[in-house]
C-alpha cells in the first residue's frame, strides 16, 4: 500500500497589518509569514476504502471534518472524483509537536501536507499554482504552509510574494496550555474597535500592501538584519488581545525585558515569540522568562527560522 511521510512546519507572523474589511467577512491583510523548524510529522497511507481516518497523539485534535486535514481529503475527492474512486480513501497519522490553537498554523500546515501527499498518491501531477489554489480554498494560511520560507502575504493571506528566506535567527515560543483565543473573535473585535479606520477603495488597499513590500521590515529581511527585524515586528491583533488577555501581555513584557531582538504575539495568539541571534541566547532567554513567570502552565520551545514548507521525508509505493 502506498504511504508518504511528511514534515509540516509551523509559522510565525513577523508582521500582520489589517488593511480593511471585505464583503466575504474576511479582512484584507499585509502579513509577513515565517516558517520555523518546529514541525508536525504526518503519515498518509492509502487504505483502499472510501473512508478518511485521522489519528493524532494530541487529545485536542479532532478526527472528523472539523480537522482541516480531513477537509483537505474531502476537497480533493470532490475536485478529483475519478481519482478518489480509483485510489480510495486515506489514513492520516499526525504526530503533534506544534501547539494546538496557538496562532502557529498547526492545522493549516497539516492540511497542506495532506494536499501534497494525496496529489502524489492519486498520481494527479498538480502544478504548484494548482496546489496553491486548492490550499486557498481550505484556509488563508494553507498556501503559505505549502511553500514555506519567508513571504509577504496579502489579500486574505493567500496571495504570496516570497522574500529572501534565511534561517540564521532563533525563536523562543511561549504559550499557556490552558489558553485559547478564537481567530474569528480576534478579527471581529478588531473590526468593532478599529473598523472606522479602514481604507475601503481597492487602489488604496493595493498601495498600502505595496508600502509594506517596499517598507523597512522587508528591507531588513533582505539584509538579514536580525536587530532591525526585531525592532519592526508588528501585529494589529495585539491591540485587541493584549488588553483582554493579561497572560499574553505578561509574557510579552517578560520577553521584552530579557534582551531579545524583538517579541510579538503570533497570528491571533495566544503564542508569544521572541527572536534571538543564537541558540545559546534563546536557551538563556527561555530559562530567564520561565523564572519570571509564576504560571507553571506556560510551555516553552526553542526553534529557529526555516527556509522550507512541506517536506516529503519518505514514500513507499
Ligand atoms: O481562513 P481561515 O479559515 O484560517 O480563517 C479563520 C478565521 O479568521 C476566519 O473565519 C475569519 O474570521 C478570520 N480571518 C479574517 N480575515 C483573514 C483571515 C482570517 O477575518 N484575512
The pLDDT of residue 317: 84
- Neighbouring C-alpha atoms within 13 Å toward the C-beta of 234: 16
Any ligand 1 atom below 6 A from CB of 107: no
Q: Give the residue-averaged pLDDT of 117-139.
A: 97
pTM for the model: 0.97
Helix (H, G, I), strand (E, B) or coil at 61: coil
CA 155 to ligand 1: nearest atom: 21
Q: Give the residue-averaged pLDDT of 80-90.
A: 96
**pLDDT class of 206 with cuts at 50, 70, 90:** confident
Between the CA of 281 and the centroid of ligand 1 the distance, in Å, is 34
Any ligand 1 atom below 6 A from CB of 176: no
Q: Where are the domains of the chain?
A: 3-163+308-316, 170-304
Which residue minimizes the CA distance to atom 14 of ligand 1? 26
Rounded distance, CA 148 to CA 50, Å?
31
Q: Considering the chain, what percentage of its residues have pLDDT values greater than 90?
A: 91
Active site residue 86: no
Helix (H, G, I), strand (E, B) or coil at 185: helix
Active-site residue, from 40, 141, 176, 236: 141
**pLDDT class of 202 with cuts at 50, 70, 90:** confident
The pLDDT of residue 231: 98
CATH dotted code for 3-163+308-316 = 3.30.230.10
Element (H, E) at 56: strand 52-56
The pLDDT of residue 90: 97
Q: What is the pLDDT of residues 269-314, one digit of tens each?
A: 999 999 999 999 999 999 999 999 989 999 999 999 999 999 999 9
The pLDDT of residue 48: 83
Which residue minimizes the CA distance to atom 13 of ligand 1? 184
Res 126 pLDDT > 90: yes
Rounded distance, CA 114 to CA 108, Å?
10
Rounded distance, CA 242 to CA 249, Å?
5
**In contact, 310 and 11? CB cutoff 8 Å:** no
**Helix, strand, coil percent values for the chain (each to nearest 5):** 40, 30, 30
Give the contacts of 251 (CB within 8 A, at least 6 positions apart). 174, 176, 272, 289, 293, 298
Any ligand 1 atom below 6 A from CB of 141: yes
Grid cell 535567527 in the structure block, residue: 169
Q: Considering the chain, what percentage of its residues have pLDDT values greater than 70?
A: 100
Res 199 pLDDT > 90: no
CA 142 to ligand 1: nearest atom: 4
CATH class assigned to 170-304: alpha beta
Nearest to 243 by CA among 286, 189, 207: 189
The pLDDT of residue 201: 80
Any ligand 1 atom below 6 A from CB of 187: yes
Supply φ then ψ for residue 33, to 5 degrees. -105, 140
Instruction: Indicate if 170-304 has the same CATH topology as 3-163+308-316.
Output: no
Q: Give the residue-averaged pLDDT of 69-91.
A: 97
Amino acid at each position: 500500500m502506498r504511504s508518504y511521510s511528511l514534515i509540516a512546519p509551523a509559522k510565525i507572523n513577523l508582521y500582520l497589518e489589517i488593511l480593511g474589511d471585505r464583503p466575504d467577512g474576511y479582512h484584507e491583510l499585509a502579513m509577513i509569514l515565517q516558517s520555523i523548524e518546529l514541525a508536525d510529522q504526518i503519515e498518509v497511507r492509502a487504505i483502499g476504502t472510501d473512508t478518511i481516518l485521522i489519528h493524532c497523539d494530541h487529545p485536542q485534535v479532532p478526527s472528523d471534518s472539523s480537522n482541516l486535514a480531513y477537509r483537505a481529503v474531502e476537497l480533493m475527492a470532490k475536485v478529483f472524483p475519478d481519482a478518489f474512486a480509483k485510489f480510495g480513501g486515506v489514513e492520516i497519522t499526525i504526530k503533534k509537536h506544534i501547539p494546538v490553537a496557538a496562532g502557529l498554523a498547526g492545522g493549516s500546515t497539516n492540511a497542506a501536507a495532506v494536499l501534497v501527499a494525496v496529489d502524489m498518491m492519486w498520481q494527479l501531477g498538480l502544478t504548484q499554482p494548482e496546489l496553491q489554489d486548492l490550499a486557498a480554498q481550505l484556509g488563508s494560511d494553507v498556501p503559505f504552509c505549502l511553500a514555506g520560507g519567508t513571504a509577504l502575504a496579502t489579500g486574505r493571506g493567500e496571495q504570496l510574494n516570497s522574500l529572501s528566506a534565511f534561517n540564521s535567527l532563533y525563536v523562543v515560543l511561549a504559550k499557556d496550555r490552558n489558553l485559547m483565543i478564537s481567530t474569528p473573535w480576534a478579527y471581529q473585535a478588531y473590526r468593532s474597535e478599529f473598523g472606522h479606520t479602514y481604507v475601503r477603495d481597492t487602489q488604496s488597499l493595493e498601495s498600502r500592501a505595496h508600502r509594506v513590500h517596499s517598507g523597512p521590515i522587508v528591507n531588513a529581511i533582505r539584509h538579514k538584519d536580525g536587530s532591525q527585524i526585531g525592532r519592526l515586528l508588528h501585529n494589529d491583533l495585539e491591540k485587541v488581545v493584549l488588553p483582554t488577555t493579561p497572560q499574553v501581555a505578561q509574557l510579552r513584557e517578560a520577553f521584552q525585558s530579557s534582551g531579545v531582538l524583538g517579541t510579538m504575539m503570533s497570528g491571533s495568539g495566544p503564542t508569544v515569540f521572541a527572536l534571538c541571534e543564537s541558540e545559546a541566547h534563546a536557551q538563556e532567554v527561555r530559562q530567564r522568562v520561565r523564572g519570571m513567570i509564576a504560571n507553571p502552565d506556560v510551555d516553552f520551545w526553542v526553534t529557529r527560522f526555516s527556509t522550507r514548507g512541506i517536506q516529503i521525508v519518505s514514500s513507499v509505493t
